[in-house]
Amino acid sequence: MEIEKAQKIVDDWINTIGVRYFNELTNLAMLTEEVGELARIISRKYGEQSFKKSDEKHDLADEMADVLFVLICLANQTGVDLTKAFEKNIAKKTKRDAKRHLENKKLKKK
C-alpha cells in the first residue's frame, strides 16, 4: 500500500467511524502510549525482561500498526504529506551517511 493511500484510509476512517480527530496533543500522548506498548513487547521478546500474563495477548505487528495509525493521524491533521516527507528524509540520510556507517568499525560483520 502506498503511504498516500494509507493517509486517505485513515482520514476516511476518522471522519466516519472515529467521528473526528483527537487534537494534536491528545494524539501525541496516544502515540507515546502506543510506542510504550511496542517497547514493552520488544523488551520482553528480544530483551531481558520476561513476559507477564497480561503481556501475552499483545501482538508485535498489531502494536506497530497502532503506532503507524496514530502517526498518520498526526500527519493528516498537521498537513504533512508522509510520502514527500519520507522521500526527503531518505535523501537527507543518504547524503549525510553515505560513508558514515560503512566506516563504522562497530558495524563490521563478525
Question: Does 103 map to a domain?
Answer: no
Quote the pLDDT of residue 4: 97
Q: Are 43 and 75 in contact (CB under 8 A)?
A: no
Return the CA Rg of the chain. Answer: 18
Tens of pLDDT, residue by residue over 46-72, are: 999 888 887 778 899 999 999 999 999
Alpha carbon distance 37, 90 (integer Å): 27
Percent with pLDDT over 90 in the chain: 77
Q: What is the CATH number of the domain that holds 35?
A: 1.10.287.1080
Into how many domains does the chain fold?
1
Q: Which residue intervals of the chain are DSSP H helices?
A: 3-16, 24-45, 60-78, 82-96
Quote the pLDDT of residue 98: 83
Domain span at residue 22 reads 3-78
Quote the pLDDT of residue 67: 98
Question: Does 8 map to a domain?
Answer: yes
Tens of pLDDT, residue by residue over 84-106, are: 999 999 999 999 988 888 888 88
